[in-house]
Amino acid sequence: MGQELAKGMAKPGDMLFGRRTWQDFITAWGHATDGNPFTTHMNSATKYVVSRTLEDAGAWQNSILLRGDAVDTVAELKAQPGNDLSINGSASLVRSLHAAGLSDYYTLLIHPLPLGSGARLFEGPAPLAEFELTGSVTTSKGVIIAYYARH
């Protein structure tokens, strides 16, 4: 699974986070110096954090605070020239951006672990959006990594 996900990290791109996920990721990656390629990528990438409550984004290098409404600030960011944006986690941010038609691609990791409950990524009202499966990989642990692009 790491090899497949490393392919995506090899492409130039910036990261987009909701406040809570950004703060969680600081704990795991923000101060690590273990030489792991994931650590290097996480720390060197430009990280945009969308928040109405965060005072500043200085706690993690290369982080930029986007204040205000997520849909408005991300739409403005996407309208500017620059790298692609990716989101890891931040389910409520993904839901908001999907509902506003701001999601162009999805990489979904489908784990063979039936929980029966928990938060769903796509729940509640959202506009119909057609995505095409552009590729998939099954890992040795049975995780399916599925790549989708907006039609």
Q: What is the dihedral of CA 124, 128, 133, 138, to 10 degrees?
A: 10
| 106-125 confidence digits (pLDDT tens) | 988 888 887 777 777 777 77
Supply the pLDDT for residue 40: 83
Domain CATH number, residue 87: 3.40.430.10
Count: domains in the chain = 1
Domain that holds residue 110: 2-150
Supply the pLDDT for residue 34: 85
Supply the pLDDT for residue 26: 93
pTM flag (> 0.85): no
Question: Contact 148/134 with Cβ under 8 angstroms?
Answer: yes
